[in-house]
Amino acid sequence: MRKLVLALALFSTPALAAGDILMHRDPGCGCCEQWAARVRQAFGRNVRIVDDVNRAAFQRQVGLPANLASCHTAIVDGIAFEGHVPIVDMRRVLANRPKGIRGLAVAGMPIGSPGMEVSGVRPQRYNVIAFGAARASVYAQH
């Protein structure tokens, strides 16, 4: 609980306007910008992108298991989204707020996930993993 309070305090900076989405990314990662553009369009909110050379520390603060890491970590209304999580899954977890879920993650950078589409290349199958107080579990499959 203490980690969650600390993480939420980090997101309440004066530089963020009410409703802004904060996204920490590996510095210069272009696919993160593509994902952020989709989030911006879907939610109608500004996405503040922070190039973070020590993103692993940020990931630990939000409770992300190391094996679920990807190239960016976003916070939307207090829930963490790691990697290329589809908008449909983001909307569902934000609407339902299942007990014990601190966030959703798409580990790695699967081809075909939002922001990772490659023309002429068949999309990979991937899982969206819910993490939090309980053991990590599959939230959705794509």
pLDDT in tens, 96-112: 999 999 999 999 999 99
Domain range 2-141, CATH architecture: 3-Layer(aba) Sandwich (3.40)
Instruction: Please write down the HEC assignment for all residues of the chain.
Output: CHHHHHHHHHCCCCCCCCCCEEEEECCCCHHHHHHHHHHHHHHCCCEEEEECCCHHHHHHHCCCCHHHCCCEEEEECCEEEECCCCHHHHHHHHHHCCCCEEEEECCCCCCCCCCCCCCCCCCCCCEEEEEECCCCEEEEEC
Confidence band for 14, pLDDT divided at 50, 70 and 90:
very low
pLDDT of residue 15: 45
* pLDDT of 28 strictly over 90: no
pLDDT given at position 77: 95
Identity (one letter) of the amino acid at 112? G
Query: What pTM value is reported for the model?
Result: 0.86
Q: Which pLDDT score is estimated for 18?
A: 57
Question: Residue range 20-43: average pLDDT?
Answer: 93
